[in-house]
Amino acid sequence: MKKRIDFSHYSSIKIGPVVDVELIEEIDSRYEEYFLIGGANNLLVSPAPPPLAMLGKSFDYIRIEGDELIIGARTATGRVVSFAKRHDIAGFEFLAKLPGTIGGAVKMNAGVKEYEIKDMLLWVRTHEGKIPANELGLAYRTSNIDSIVYEAGFKLQKGFDNDLLQKLLALRTNQPKAPSAGSIFKNPPGDYAGRLIEAVGLKGKRVGNMAISDMHANFLINLGGGTFDEAMALIDEAKRRVFEEFGIELREEVIIL
């Protein structure tokens, strides 16, 4: 079954074409030929993306089984935080305000400060079966996952930390509210992408209706009607200028399709 998605509405950065996306409701290896999208909070979709698929409602669930929390990969991170709060479960506080699905969070090893999904993850299920977390190459905003993740198993520990939740939510006040895809670049070792982009004078730089945020230079924001080409022009300029001035190659965190 296909679902028509307008990426200029669906994606967090509000850019992209209208395309028919394959809707997956059962585990099957034939879907491996598609690029799987989650909530599109970390994507920049070009006018001509590869064939896309997304998980359907049958992968939107959370259940407790023994000493594990089992979550369908389509489940929204916000729902996981609410569930953890309601059942007094520890370790998922950092997912508040980290938009997306559990599949996307696992693939990206999403995290905030020192908290990352890999601290909680036990295994994922792909079409080949269960794969333990220590075989997934999980590191700073990356993994070696190249299959569709259908569900994931997590540690079940007691004690939702409301103080931590409040602290993490407070961190978000220096981030722009305009549509974005979160951080554009990964922080290079020992430095911050935002600091480097600011140092080369690009904070607030605008191309058409896209801009490097004047609140946080590692956020590319859509001022309304911004395009893929405008976004790419800013990404390329930031990479070029930072390399020229500091000899540092910025690497995209956002995935360009």
For residue 129, how many C-alpha atoms fall within 13 Å in the half-sphere facing its CB?
1
Q: Is 256 helix (H, G, I), strand (E, B) or coil?
A: strand
Cα–Cα nearest to 224, from 206, 236, 241: 206
Among 36, 70, 136, 168, binds ligand FAD (CB under 6 A): 36
Per rule CB under 6 A, is residue 180 in the interface with ligand FAD? yes
Per rule CB under 6 A, is residue 110 in the interface with ligand FAD? yes
Q: Is 58 helix (H, G, I), strand (E, B) or coil?
A: helix
Beta strands in 90-241 (DSSP E): 111-112, 115-116, 121-126, 129-132, 151-155, 206-207, 210-212, 220-222
CB 247 to ligand FAD: min, Å: 26
- Token pair 């300029």 in the structure block, residue: 237
Q: Which positions from 66 to 105 touch ligand FAD by CB under 6 A, shown as an x/- string?
A: -------x------------------------xxxx-xxx
Q: Is 132 helix (H, G, I), strand (E, B) or coil?
A: strand
CB 42 to ligand FAD: min, Å: 3
Q: Which stretch binds ligand FAD (CB under 6 A): 15-23, 128-136, 144-152, 191-199?
A: 144-152
Per rule CB under 6 A, is residue 138 in the interface with ligand FAD? no
Per rule CB under 6 A, is residue 112 in the interface with ligand FAD? yes
Active-site hit among 93, 151, 230, 253 = 253
Q: How many residues bind ligand FAD (CB under 6 A)?
A: 32
Q: Is 133 helix (H, G, I), strand (E, B) or coil?
A: helix
The whole-angstrom separation of Cα 160 and Cα 4 is 38
Residue type, 10: Y
- Whether 158 and 85 have beta carbons less than 8 Å apart is answered as no
- Whether 96 and 110 have beta carbons less than 8 Å apart is answered as no
Q: Is 206 tagged catalytic?
A: no
Q: Which stretch binds ligand FAD (CB under 6 A): 179-187, 188-196, 203-211, 242-250?
A: 179-187
Q: Indicate the residue among 49 and 99 with the shorter CB distance to ligand FAD.
A: 99
Bridge-based pairing of strands 35-37 and 52-55 is parallel
Residue type, 257: L
Per rule CB under 6 A, is residue 215 in the interface with ligand FAD? no
Per rule CB under 6 A, is residue 255 in the interface with ligand FAD? yes
CB 248 to ligand FAD: min, Å: 21
Q: Is 128 tagged catalytic?
A: no
Active-site hit among 8, 141, 151, 230 = 141
Q: Is 12 tagged catalytic?
A: no
Among 91, 182, 194, 226, binds ligand FAD (CB under 6 A): 182
> Which DSSP category does 180 fall into?
-
Rule CB under 6 A: which residues touch ligand FAD? 12, 35-43, 55, 73, 98-101, 103-105, 107-108, 110-112, 141, 145, 148-149, 180-182, 255
Catalytic site residues? 141, 183, 253
